Structure 1
Amino acid sequence: MTTAQPSTQAHQVRNRRRALTASIFGTAIEWYDYALYGAAASVVIGPLFFSGAGQSAASVAAFATFAVGFVARPLGGVVIGHLGDRFGRRPAMLLSVILMGIATVGIGLLPSAEAWGAWSVALLVLLRLVQGFGAGAELTGAMTLVAEYAEPRKRGFYTSLVLSTPPLGIALATVCFYLVSLAGDQALLGWAWRIPFLVSALLFIVAIYIRNRLEETPDYAAAMAEARASQQRAKLPVAQVFTGHWRRVILGFLAITGHNAVNYILAVFSLSLMVSSGMERSQALLAVTLGSLVSVLLTPVGGRLADRYGASKIMAAGNISGLVLAFPIFALISSGEFFLGFLGIAAGYALVIPCTSGAQGAFLTELFPVPVRFTGIAIARELNGAIVAGLSPLIAAALLQAGNGSIAMPAGYLALCCLSSAAAIFLGARSAARTLY
């Protein structure tokens, strides 16, 4: 195939770098926002918005508002993914980052329940829904954009650079909360918690500027030119995904279940568990920050391995590691000791996430054809996000409470998620030649 707008090699290299920069920056902001709310849910959302419910119930309610954002993600993934497949990657990615920016800054400006009562809770839920809707296509768009510019033999590495930025966003968010927590609990619950949310306004302005300069990918331009020539352009990509590629959606969904469970339990639930186990709040934030930075460095290694050995093998290896480490990780983060807590976080981010995240971009983008790639990946990822990622901290908190503080049930839940992913990837790889491709 030939591109609709042939360009020189230098122009292609410049566009590839620009796409990579836009994707990395936008993805870092997305995860900064989500980890920011996750950290807030662990330490301030309960006291500020659900103080009348009691400590345990307030914690569960705070994690429930965290999960609310994931409810809107599948819808955002479908709608924005459809726009990305129908009208182009650039306008879809601009819409995504604008919605996220409005919602994040809005949360930072929101009065507490003491001032506005039930209206504050309702607006908090609404802003989380808007944030989730925008985020529903953010990482999918970034992966798709980079994958369609990258050479196929380097697709794993280049998409892993994008996928290494979620831990960076988590680290930035927890650093911000760590810094504002140094002001003391009274200041943190009074005004300091708003600062990290409001700072993101500057980041979104930069992201919008960068994304406004993007061009469409060669793969997308070629696919649309071919579709126009044959008059087969899909009017509704989501329908085409469910009628012609539903097996790929199921495999994509199951393949990232372990990844999302590990990632969100480490980034969100671990903070609450470490604090309730006796660790100071600032130390818990620091443990997650330092531990997540390990994944930033090692995820590109997972991408390199995916290019060399195959994305499915590396993703399966990461989930098997998660299965083996589930109980040790929970034992470490519930110890109440800073070093052991950090070691538990680092173990997940060093041995599990680099494989499941580093190989994910190549695995998912190669799973769907170009005309429905944005929509297909968005549906698989965001359905999983709503069911697994968004609910994992809430499920872990509920299981911990049901077990009277025992880590056995939440650790078992994590192990089960990793096992399901490893099995799905193994079975999917074996049946690919017969059913998927």
Structure 2
Amino acid sequence: MTSTLISPVRPRSQRITPGARKAMFAATLGTAIEWYDYALYGIAAGLVISPLFFPDAVGDTGPMIAFATFAVGFIIRPIGGLAIAHIGDKIGRKPALLLTILLMGIATTGIGLLPTAETIGIAAPILLVALRALQGFGAGAELSGALTVAAEYTPESRRGFFTGIINAVGGAGSALAMLAFLAVSSVPEEVLLGGLWRVPFLLSAVLFLLALYIRKRLDETPEYVAAKEKNEEAIKNSVPLKEVFKASPRRVIFAILMWSGHNANTYIVLTFALSYLTNTVGFERADALWIALIASSVGCLLSPVWGMVGDRYGHKQVFAGVMIFGALFSIPLFMMMNTGDFAIALTGLLIASGITFGGTSGTAGAVSANLFPARFRFSGIAAAKEINAALIAGPTPFIAAALVSLLNGEPWLAAGFISLCCLITVISLAALGRGTGNTAVIDTAVSADVK
């Protein structure tokens, strides 16, 4: 019986071709927009969504409802991710990436134009949730597609570095969102809530048009073209997601769980920390934004550096080591934020972002890309990443807010939640075993069983 095998790193040219450079630029720009859109909504959820769209909520209820709408996008992400990944594996990476950017651009611009509850009443939050769902549907395949393109266009022995760049620009998109809100948050609150909050959302339209133009000029990845030529009839008649689970259900389950620590830390550092510093610790909004901005920028810069470390010492080993650190650092992180001191809180988030966010961003993409052959890689990465996004990433700010509220402002349950997610990742990496380091799955059959 034929099977999908694990091979050593295949010799691929270390030279980065013009086509690869163009593909990396197209992939990174789209990912930056995805994270800009998502971080923008996360920031807005902590600062303006509650009074604008849920004005009747009292106390901690308003922020919790706002974070619940943030989670809606993640709940719908797996559906969009798998649907668009199906297009990416059956038809091509290019049409899939064009569709993702189109849906995200429409949704984010729509949120910026949406009337508030004061104007249209209950219709405002309903439309907000609908646009958030559309945003999630499109974004569900964006990062998975970008990681797929990066993995298939660049040298396999440098996969950590290049997928680390893709994840790094996620931090850049988040930083851009924070800068956009920082620019408008210095005005009086009545001016911000009166309409200035819309500007950062409407800026997304400019980025969206640029990315759409670039992606229309993108070529298919050489690895996908080769896989399609080799298995043209199989690809035509197959259902990629079915092939993912048929190859190895166990591998897919642990691939899903593997993203838990990365997602929990990412959305604590990039989303929840802003609300926590502002609403619980008592920082001024501008100070909290600066702390989150600086921390996310450092994580962004260090992601490809961690990717190079993974290329040298093993993506799996580095990923697991970073997650052990993340589990141990969750309580010190909240203790440092709770001091109310700008420098100490910033130091805590710099450590969390630089090591846990940067370290996982630099290795998780390479580990995931190595788990699946090109014939259904897009669907495999999307299934793993986006199902975990629905389970962990989207709910994390809401869960953290609820756990902090449960202890009347004390963060220890929230810290425990982060540690638990990190340990789930470590266990999953150990359970995945082979194929999660600097090795890649090769496709030797139409259907496969990985023992």
- Normalising by the smaller structure, the TM-score range is over 0.9
- Paired with 1:275 and 1:115, the residues of 2 have a C-alpha distance of 28
Equivalent positions of 1:220-235 (< 5 A) are: 220-228=224-232, 231=234, 233-235=236-238
Contact 1:317–1:355, Cα closer than 8 Å, also in 2: no
Q: Deviations over 1:117-165 (max 9, x none)?
A: 1100100000000000000000010010011011111111111111111
Question: Does residue 270 of structure 1 match 2:273?
Answer: yes
Q: Which residue of 2 aligns with 1:367?
A: 371
Contact 1:318–1:354, Cα closer than 8 Å, also in 2: no
Equivalent positions of 1:29-428 (< 5 A) are: 29-228=33-232, 231=234, 233-276=236-279, 277-428=281-432
Structure 2 residue runs of 5 or longer lacking an equivalent are: 1-12, 440-448
Partner SS state of residue 25, structure 2 = helix
- In the alignment, residue 399 of structure 1 is paired with which amino acid? L
Partner SS state of residue 51, structure 1 = coil
- Paired with 1:231 and 1:185, the residues of 2 have a C-alpha distance of 58
- In the alignment, residue 394 of structure 2 is paired with which amino acid? G
* Larger deviation, residues 319-328 vs 331-340: 331-340
Post-superposition, which runs of at least 4 consecutive aligned residues in structure 1 deviate over 6 A?
9-12, 430-433
Q: Which residue of 2 aligns with 1:4?
A: none
Residues 431/238 of structure 1: CA separation in 2 closer, same or farther (3 Å cut): closer
- In the alignment, residue 302 of structure 2 is paired with which amino acid? L
The Cα shift of 1:341 comes to 2.0
Q: Which residue of 1 aligns with 2:9?
A: none
- Paired with 2:435 and 2:158, the residues of 1 have a C-alpha distance of 25
Contact 1:35–1:268, Cα closer than 8 Å, also in 2: yes
Contact 2:235–2:375, Cα closer than 8 Å, also in 1: no
Q: Deviations over 1:217-242 (max 9, x none)?
A: 111001000112x6564431111122
What TM-score do you get using the length of structure 1 for normalisation?
0.95
What TM-score do you get using the length of structure 2 for normalisation?
0.92
Q: Deviations over 1:372-413 (max 9, x none)?
A: 100011011001001100000000000011111111100111
Contact 2:77–2:389, Cα closer than 8 Å, also in 1: yes
Residues 113/362 of structure 1: CA separation in 2 closer, same or farther (3 Å cut): same
Q: Deviations over 1:249-286 (max 9, x none)?
A: 21221111000000001111111110121100111011
- Paired with 1:150 and 1:211, the residues of 2 have a C-alpha distance of 18
- Paired with 2:264 and 2:20, the residues of 1 have a C-alpha distance of 32
* Aligned-pair identity (%): 45
Contact 2:247–2:450, Cα closer than 8 Å, also in 1: no
Contact 1:104–1:198, Cα closer than 8 Å, also in 2: yes
C-alpha RMSD over aligned residues: 1.8
* Larger deviation, residues 141-150 vs 420-429: 420-429
Q: Which residue of 1 aligns with 2:8?
A: none
- In the alignment, residue 170 of structure 1 is paired with which amino acid? S
Contact 1:274–1:335, Cα closer than 8 Å, also in 2: no
- In the alignment, residue 131 of structure 2 is paired with which amino acid? L
The Cα shift of 1:244 comes to 2.2
Contact 1:259–1:356, Cα closer than 8 Å, also in 2: yes
Residues 231/25 of structure 1: CA separation in 2 closer, same or farther (3 Å cut): closer
Contact 1:181–1:282, Cα closer than 8 Å, also in 2: yes
- In the alignment, residue 300 of structure 2 is paired with which amino acid? V
Structure 1 residue runs of 5 or longer lacking an equivalent are: 1-8
Contact 1:100–1:131, Cα closer than 8 Å, also in 2: yes
- In the alignment, residue 213 of structure 2 is paired with which amino acid? Y
The Cα shift of 1:188 comes to 1.0
* Larger deviation, residues 146-155 vs 102-111: 146-155
- Paired with 2:145 and 2:170, the residues of 1 have a C-alpha distance of 14
